[in-house]
Amino acid sequence: MRALFPNLPVKDFPNAVSKTTNHNGPHQMHLLPQYGYPWTWAPNRTMGFTWADLRGKRVLDVGCASGFLSFSAEAAGASEVFSFDMDSAIRQHKLPFKNGLYFSNFEEWVRQQGAWIETWKNAYWLAHSRLNSHAKVFYGDVYDITREYGQFDVTFVGSILEHLSDPIRALASISKVTRETLAITTPALHTEDPIARFVGDQDKPTVDFVFWVYSIGIYRHVLGMLGFKILNVKRPSFFYEIDKREVEATTIVAERS
């Protein structure tokens, strides 16, 4: 575990940030894919902050990647924002395709994936610098998030659970540092039946990074176990730059009960 505060040098690519504007609310920011994050988040496509007033709140952004939600929380008036992401590629799991590098040569996969993860981090620090952000950053293990930075009023969990082999364990870890509100964005099955869909497909070896899609019913039970109650469920869309397509996700907002 290492804590990083906003004093790191960044590699400044002049065309990396094609949009950084403010629309009386969250920033619209488009970091080009070669600089680490291939999603376009615009005001009509964000998780949306209509469910919570972030003014004066301590906010944690889990799986911050290039930092869009962290910087949006600052723009929305959060008193303090912390961004969290993995400290090493070793933390990341993939489906075990026998001819895939992750399975056949893990050490080399870690080396290559680690270099890619560094582009995410650089994209974050570039945007951090351009936006004059005061967000603080720490890296570590999502299954064991340190509690040394205290409790957070609002925690964002932005599109990471589907990439984890054990999302329930991750939610348990995240819940320990969340005082009031959890906002989870992830694909979901819109049924109260407590079911899950395994996303892996033996005929699609390149799609080795998505494990499970849980139902709203599972989230209701698991969040209840952790002391949270679901307030609302939204279904926003996001633009995936690589495939040039809209992707629907689900945002679940839950509060301590």
Fold (CATH) for 2-256: Rossmann fold (3.40.50)
pLDDT of 6 > 50? The answer is no
pLDDT of 56 > 80? The answer is yes
In which residue are the tokens 């005001």 written? Answer: 43
The order of strands in the sheet holding 178-186 is: 2-4, 136-140, 80-86, 58-62, 152-158, 178-186, 250-256, 228-234
Report residue 245's pLDDT band, with 50, 70 and 90 as the boundaries: confident
Q: Is the dihedral of CA 194, 232, 81, 41 positive or negative?
A: positive
H and E: helices and strands count for the chain: 5, 16
> Which residues sit opposite 157 in a β-bridge?
62, 184
End-to-end alpha carbon distance in the chain:
31
Cα angle for residues 216, 217, 221 (degrees, 5° grid): 115
Number of neighbours of residue 103 by Cβ within 10 angstroms? 15
Q: Contact, 213 vs 188, CB < 8 A?
A: yes
Could you read off the pLDDT of 201-228 as tens digits, one per residue? 999 999 999 999 999 999 999 999 999 9
Could you read off the pLDDT of 165-207 as tens digits, one per residue? 999 999 999 999 999 999 999 999 999 999 999 999 999 999 9
Of all residues in the chain, what percent carry a pLDDT higher than 70?
Answer: 79
- The amino acid present at 141, given as its one-letter code, is D
Could you read off the pLDDT of 10-26 as tens digits, one per residue? 444 333 333 333 333 33
Q: What is the pLDDT of residue 120?
A: 86
The HSE-up count of residue 184 (CA atoms within 13 Å, CB side) is: 32
Nearest to 210 by CA among 219, 218, 201: 201
Could you read off the pLDDT of 126-153 as tens digits, one per residue? 999 999 999 999 999 999 999 999 999 9
Nearest to 36 by CA among 110, 123, 159: 123
- The amino acid present at 133, given as its one-letter code, is S
